[in-house]
Structure 1
Amino acid sequence: MMGGEEEKKVIGQVVRPHGIKGEVKIIPRIAWPEGFHYRGAVHLNSSTQDGWFDIEHGRWNRDGAVLRFTQVKDRNGAEALRGCRVSIPGSEMPPLPPDVYYDSQLLGMRVRTRSGEPVGVIEQVLHLPAQDVYEIKTSKGMVMIPAVEAFVKRVDLEGREMTIEPIEGLLESDAD
């Protein structure tokens, strides 16, 4: 089992038990590079759970991963993990292809328009069926920007800044 103070990165969330032998269904929160298989311990965290769990075995299925932990023996144990965030040590994160980012790399990043006008700060990355969406806190409220090339023109990880090309009405918040 892992421990220590190394920064953890959220890779998914337990959505439900799978079967009766203690397996859980995980929905990924990152784009897994093809062929990547993580076999170490994962950290599970929710309002009722907080600890490291050793992966006994895992497999991919239609829309996520199915994992079995050595510490979980039955469906009741798996049910107790529902809703847990699944994290791994930051040093274990797989490399990503160009122009693909982990949520943790984007959260807190400043957002500006191509003309240099400040927009706000990325508060959340929403993983929706059609595409990811960046929730940006502005001085007037929250706005959502689709995470697609048509709007996102540049991401500077070192400078912690994203440049966008908004269309008319895109930056209007609910408060407007």
Structure 2
Amino acid sequence: MQLVVGRIGRPHGVRGEVTVEVRTDDPELRFAEGLSIATDPAGRGPLVIEGRRWHKDVLLVAFEGFGSRDQAEELRGTMLVIDSAEVEPSDDPDEFHDHQLVGLAVETVSGEPVGEVTDVLHHGQDLLVVRRRGQDDALIPFVKALVPEVDLTGGRLIVDPPEGLL
């Protein structure tokens, strides 16, 4: 599965640098000089990082072969992606990456099937979006009290919803 770690924005200056909207919590690793990074659409890459620097809390990146503002403009909107296999698992048994949760079957503590996790939203409180058959999607806060068990190897997530949540 591909994970987006950044999105190329507008050019910065005249030497081909672009702004990058960072979508990773480790930009120093993901945007290291000399690194080749895949793109979406795939035809625009892979891109090799020639240099990077921070300017007023904005990441600026220069890619090999894109030395002018006009060339850099061609990259605008390109997503920078990595394979999910490149992401190190967390040492914390209660911490999960979104891609690990999406696709898990959801069932209640009593074994009743609920649906499948289709997305994870991060709006102050992490919310699991669960697609239910024949019903609207359910939003379940991703907290231990409501989600007591995440079984990645079994492909399921156990929920203990309060009355009215589902």
TM-score interval for Structure 1 and Structure 2 normalised by the shorter chain: 0.7 to 0.9
CA RMSD of aligned residues (A): 3.0
Normalised TM-score (structure 2): 0.74
Matches within 5 A, 1:114-125: 114-125=109-120
Cα deviations by residue, 1:92-147 (Å, 9 ceiling, x for unpaired): 3233232222222222110112222211111122333x133221110112122223
Cα deviations by residue, 1:5-46 (Å, 9 ceiling, x for unpaired): xxx531424162362242222231x554xx961332111104
- Equivalent pairs counted in the alignment come to 159
Which structure 2 segments of 5+ residues have no match? none
- Residue 47 of structure 2 is matched in structure 1 by 53
Structure 1 residue corresponding to 2:17, chosen from 14, 22, 35:
22
Q: Look up the SS of the partner of 1:17 in the other structure.
A: strand
Same amino acid, percent of matched pairs:
30
- Residue 37 of structure 1 is matched in structure 2 by 29
Q: Look up the SS of the partner of 1:104 in the other structure.
A: helix
More helix by share: 2
Tell me, yes or no, if the aligned pair for 1:41 and 1:88 is still in contact at 8 Å. Answer: no
Q: Look up the SS of the partner of 1:141 in the other structure.
A: coil
When residues 22 and 104 of structure 1 are mapped into structure 2, their CA distance, relative to the original with a 3 A threshold, is: same
Q: Which amino acid aligns with 1:14?
A: R
- Residue 160 of structure 1 is matched in structure 2 by 155
- Residue 95 of structure 2 is matched in structure 1 by 100
When residues 63 and 151 of structure 1 are mapped into structure 2, their CA distance, relative to the original with a 3 A threshold, is: farther
Cα deviations by residue, 1:48-70 (Å, 9 ceiling, x for unpaired): 95421112233567877543322
Normalised TM-score (structure 1): 0.71
Which structure 1 segments of 5+ residues have no match? 1-7, 172-176
